[in-house]
Amino acid sequence: MIPLELPDPLQLAEAIVQGNRSAVANALNIIDNKRPEAKECSAQLLSALPQKKLLEEGHLIGITGPPGAGKSSLVSALIHIWRKAGVSIGVLAVDPSSRISGGALLGDRLRIKLPQFDEGLFIRSLASRGHLGGLASEVWPMGLVLLACFDLVIIETIGVGQTEIDIANVSDTVCYIAQPASGDSIQYLKSGVMEIPDVLVVNKSDLGTPAKKTARELTRCLVPPESQTDWSIPVHLVSASEGSGIEKLAQIFEEHRAWLSQANKLTSSRVEHQAAWGIKLLREEFGRHGLELVGGETTLLQQWTSHVASPLEIFEVFRKKILTHWKKI
């Protein structure tokens, strides 16, 4: 096998933080590479990214919803508004339903209309799914790389089953895009299986009555917040194709980000998310039985969230611990 030419992880991390887009593209390719030397390089890269950026800064927004609801169209419309305001954006469009890995097909499905060359915008599509369904494990480290480089990170994915849980475990703000006149969204909210998203959007308001009806039905499903300081989930009507309601949506995202900071929830939820992804990776590698060897998932989660170290360092500690027990069997 031809040896991989890998960059120095420390220099790569520095270039990413300085906003170098080709460094970001390079990093995502390394994370996507399954070769052990690439895995080693991405672990070192992630440890070299500034913790302050990964835990306290920027904004990770997850956009999910049924196929064809207009997620990509909406992301394009939002990008125009944010870029006009000088906000830099990294987008990861993940298609876990695709059986084809790579991304050639996805270029078509992405439907994100790009402005001409723009230093402050980076878009990457990823057509892969996790071993156990849901989002591929690469999504988490890729999100962190984007967070280290851009003011705002968007992760777009079709919402089905496990991906709903995964997207909530990678985003500060989860936004669900509903399709007008489709019972799916209502079913989804009523099922109570998943956590309710932070922002509910009904797209295609240009369709008139069906969109308004869906918004009313969604509103009826929501339970009012218990206290005045809790986040009150908005149901917002937009039309990505006509551009209506988009500025207000951008404002809602900003308000949710501000609320997270004010309520001291941003850092704690990012630590919890990192733990959830780390445990997901360990579960994929060793199975539930492997996790039981070191006390089970709940214990791992508690131990993880009480550590102050880079997520990759903690991950390696737990991995070695499981391996040690594993070898004793």
* By CB under 6 A, residue 185 contacts ligand GTP: no
Residue in 67, 102, 287, 295 binding ligand GTP, rule: CB under 6 A? 67
Proportion of the chain in helix, strand, coil states, percent, rounded to 5: 55, 15, 35
Between CA 16 and CA 118 the distance in angstroms is 16
In whole angstroms, what is the distance from residue 102 CA to residue 71 CA? 21
212 lies in the site for ligand GTP, by CB under 6 A: no
* 118: contact with ligand GTP by CB under 6 A: no
Which DSSP string do the residues of 144-194 spell out, in sequence order?
Answer: HHHHHH-SEEEEEEE--THHHHHHHTT-SEEEEEEPTT-HHHHHHHHH-SS
In the bound state, the residue with its beta carbon closest to Mg ion is 72
Rounded least distance, CB 245 to Mg ion, Å = 19
Q: Which is nearer to Mg ion, 58 or 65 (CB)?
A: 65
In terms of Cβ atoms closer than 10 Å to its own Cβ (0-12, 13-18, 19+), residue 85 is: exposed
Q: CA–CA separation, 63 vs 70, rounded Å?
A: 10
d(C-alpha 217, C-alpha 186), whole Å: 7
Q: To the nearest whole angstrom, how small is the minimum distance from the Cβ of residue 146 to Mg ion?
A: 18
Q: With respect to ligand GTP, which residue has the nearer C-beta, 6 or 139?
A: 139
Are 143 and 159 in contact by the 8 Å Cβ rule? The answer is no
Q: Decide which of ligand GTP, Mg ion, none touches 68; Cβ closer than 5 to 8 Å per partner kind.
A: ligand GTP
- E strands, the chain, where? 59-65, 89-94, 121-126, 152-158, 173-178, 199-202, 235-237
Position 124 contacts ligand GTP (CB under 6 A): no
Cα–Cα dist 137/319, whole Å: 15
Kindly state whether residue 206 participates in binding ligand GTP, applying the rule CB under 6 A. Answer: yes
Give the residue, chosen from 240, 249, 279, 300, that forms a contact with ligand GTP under the rule CB under 6 A: 240
**What is the smallest separation between the CB atom of 77 and Mg ion, expressed in angstroms?**
13
Q: How far is the CB of 168 from ligand GTP (least distance, A)?
A: 18
Site for ligand GTP in 146-175 (CB under 6 A): 158
Which residue of 26, 47, 64, 72 would you call a contact of Mg ion, by CB under 5 A? 72
129 binds, among Mg ion, ligand GTP, none (CB under 5 to 8 A by kind): none
Q: Does 125 bind ligand GTP (CB under 6 A)?
A: no
Select the binding partner of residue 69 from Mg ion, ligand GTP, none (C-beta < 5 to 8 A, by kind): ligand GTP
When asked if residue 73 is in the footprint of ligand GTP (CB under 6 A), the reply is yes
Please state whether 107 falls in left (phi above 0), alpha (psi between -120 and 50) or beta.
Answer: alpha
Q: Which part of the chain contacts ligand GTP (CB under 6 A), choosing from 7-15, 35-43, 237-245, 286-294? A: 237-245
Q: Which CB, 109 or 212, lies closer to ligand GTP?
A: 109
Is 73 an interacting residue with respect to Mg ion (CB under 5 A)?
A: no
> Edge-to-edge, what's the strand order for the sheet holding 89-94?
121-126, 89-94, 152-158, 59-65, 173-178, 199-202, 235-237
Q: Which does 17 bind (CB under 5 to 8 A by kind): Mg ion, ligand GTP, none?
A: none
Distance between CA atoms of residues 281 and 200, nearest Å: 29
Task: Indicate whether 68 belongs to the interface with ligand GTP (CB under 6 A).
Answer: yes
**Pair of tokens at residue 305:** 């969230």
Binding segment toward Mg ion, per CB under 5 A, in 30-38, 63-71, 134-142, 282-290:
63-71
Q: Which amino acid is at 243?
A: G
Query: Can you give the binding site for ligand GTP, defined by CB under 6 A?
Result: 67-73, 109, 111, 158, 203-204, 206-207, 239-241
Query: Can you give the binding site for Mg ion, defined by CB under 5 A?
Result: 71-72
